Amino acid sequence: MAVDDMDYIALKDEFEKRVTKKMDEITIDYDRSDMNSNDEMVLRALAQAMISLEETELMAYSARRAEHLDLEKYDKLNASASKMRSDISKLQGDLKITRSVRKADKELTAADIIEDMKKKAKEFYQSKMSYVYCPKCNMLLGTVWVLYNQDKKNKITLHCSRPDEYGNICDEIVTISLKDLVDNHGTNNIDITPESML
């Protein structure tokens, strides 16, 4: 095997290690498990572009500090670095790992979590509570939850004090077994109980 071929293989191995390391660095904060082959290809291109940018910026820095500044070379390196930054930004956008996308995702995730918790809390509350309505005027008199709701001896009595349009009090008294409430889908009047509460 020729020396040049050996140098090429060593160089290729070194480059692959650098690319792999850079890919790992980029994805420290991101889950790669749902990436498809195209995403992995874009991620690799991003890693290569970032390595090239680092090297180009180092060459530009070295050119600027040289005793005899080659302005044309320095300008070309800067122009090349600028294009690389633009390419990197586009690749980050393709992978949805730009700062603005990350911030939006975090905000969306936090909002979703809060909404989901509120929904579950409401569903839990509604599944445990029973609703007692006045049989005369259909006013909701109360929502109740008790530990021993299957015991027929446990009953609840509520007095309706709802005034009508003339100021007259309904004055209806409702007494109901808690077991009957549970057996009737948690209400004493299924016809007027909202479906979402049943």
Q: Are strands 155-159 and 140-144 parallel, antiparallel or unpaired?
A: unpaired
> 102 in a domain, yes or no?
no
Asked if 133 and 93 sit in the same domain, the reply is no
* pLDDT band (50, 70, 90) for residue 29: low
Instruction: Indicate whether 106 pLDDT > 70.
Output: no
10 with 89, same domain?
yes
The percentage of residues in the chain with a pLDDT greater than 90, rounded to a whole number, is 25
| 9 plus 68 within the same structural domain | yes
- pLDDT tens, residue by residue, 64-99: 887 777 788 888 988 999 999 999 888 888 887 755
**112 inside domain:** no
Give residue 120's identity as a one-letter amino acid code.
Answer: K
Quick check: 103 pLDDT over 60? no
The pLDDT value given to residue 99: 54
Domain that holds residue 65: 3-97
Q: What is the pLDDT of residues 182-191, one digit of tens each?
A: 888 888 888 8
Look-up of token digits 């994805």: 27
In a domain, 108, yes or no: no
pTM value is: 0.47
Instruction: Report how many domains make up the chain.
Output: 2
Asked if the structure places residue 59 within a domain, the reply is: yes
Q: How high is the pLDDT of residue 197?
A: 64
Q: Which residues of 115-149 are buried (b: 16+ CB within 10 A; e: fewer)?
A: eeeeeeeeeeeeeeebbbbbeeeeeebeebeeeeb
Q: Which of 19-28, 31-40, 166-175 has the lowest mean pLDDT?
A: 31-40
- pLDDT of 161 above 90: yes
Mean pLDDT, rounded, for 106-112: 67
Q: Do 87 and 135 reside in the same domain of the chain?
A: no
Within a domain: residue 75?
Answer: yes
